[in-house]
Amino acid sequence: MTDGVLLIHGLGGTHFDLGGLFTHLKRAGFETHTLTLPGHGTQPEDLGAVVMEDWVAAVRAKYAEVKGMHPRLHIIGMCMGALLACQLAKLEQHHDGKLVLLAPTIYLDGWSTPWYRLARHLHYVLPWKRKSYRIEESEPFGIKNERLRAIVKSRFGRGESFHYPWTPLQSIWQLDRLARQVKRQLHDVRCPTLIIHAREDELTSLRSAQLLLGGIGQPQARLVVLENSYHMVCIDNNRDQVAHEVLGFLK
């Protein structure tokens, strides 16, 4: 039996969020498992009725399904998927494997989201506002590499389904709710943890990674800071470094 890896995508995203990491893992001898989170893979409107508890339940169910297939099961999450991976590790008392958190979004305080910091909380108290207000995907799309950014922009223009073109504010509220849960009892994460975060992440600053590092505690947790990427670390300029760090950590 080979070791397995459960990979969890981000809010509004798909497996595209994790780029070529699947290929690197398979070539290294790991068997990969994924899931499509509730409200994803269809149309953005379907996120409106989904709450944070639905996402947590989905990853716990997938974890229970695949855990017995491998001597060790590792967990990797990207963006919101990193928060779900961390919460999963706590709730399941995960210790027969490692944990990788890629660009975790505890705080929405990156350089391209100034209005998020306070304005979104004012909208949360109005249910009709949460469900009607949309957060549009816009440049730089989490990508510093200009050539890749142009490709992603053209894919959005063609209406391809690799990522939702917008996200309801309702889902951002659920992301904030999830972040509050993750911040609690971080010392309950009992497995070796690797956190990878870009210094120039436009969506969430290094403060998110540093909070997780401090809460989980060293030497159990380790932080790698990328110097030439934005939020989408698995497909941006440092993607090879990300793959190298992840494979080295899991092995």
**Side-chain half-sphere of 242: how many Cα atoms within 13 Å?**
32
For residues 218 and 223, the model is more confident at: 223
Helix (H) or strand (E) holding 2: none
> Is 80 exceeded by the pLDDT of residue 133?
no
Helix (H) or strand (E) holding 189: none
Task: Identify the band that residue 129 occupies on the pLDDT scale cut at 50, 70 and 90.
Answer: low
Distance CA(215)–CA(204), nearest Å, equals: 18
Task: Give me the amino acid identity at 62.
Answer: K
Q: Helix 80-91 crosses helix 52-66 at what angle (to 10 degrees)? A: 60
Based on the structure, what is the number of domains in the chain?
A: 1
* pLDDT for the residue 19: 92
- Classify residue 230 as exposed, middle or buried by CB count within 10 Å of its CB (0-12, 13-18, 19+): buried
Distance CA(38)–CA(132), nearest Å, equals: 19
Distance CA(247)–CA(200), nearest Å, equals: 23
Helix (H) or strand (E) holding 197: strand 193-198
> pLDDT tens digit string along 32-59?
999 999 999 999 999 988 999 999 999 9
Give the CATH number, domain containing residue 151.
3.40.50.1820
3-state SS record for 111-135: CCCCCHHHHHHHHHCCHHHHHHCEE
* pLDDT for the residue 185: 93
> Is 60 exceeded by the pLDDT of residue 123?
no
How far does the chain reach from its first CA to its final CA, in angstroms?
15
* pLDDT for the residue 132: 57
Token code pair at residue 200:
């120039």
126-145: average pLDDT: 74
Residue whose pair of structure tokens reads 């169910």 in the numeric block: 61
Ranges 4-8, 85-89, 146-150, 246-250: which has the least confidence: 146-150
Beta-bridge partners for 100: 76, 194
> Is 90 exceeded by the pLDDT of residue 122?
no
Establish whether the linkage from the previous residue to 140 is cis, with ω within 30° of 0. Answer: yes
All residues at 6 or more sequence positions from 2 whose CB lies less than 8 Å from its CB, including other chains: 29, 30, 31, 70
Ranges 145-154, 155-164, 205-214, 223-232: which has the least confidence: 155-164
* pLDDT for the residue 162: 81
> Is 80 exceeded by the pLDDT of residue 118?
no
> Is 80 exceeded by the pLDDT of residue 228?
yes
Beta-bridge partners for 222: 194
Q: For the chain, what percent of residues have pLDDT higher than 70?
A: 92
Domain that includes residue 190, residue range: 4-250
> pLDDT tens digit string along 161-202?
788 888 888 899 899 999 999 999 999 999 999 999 999 999
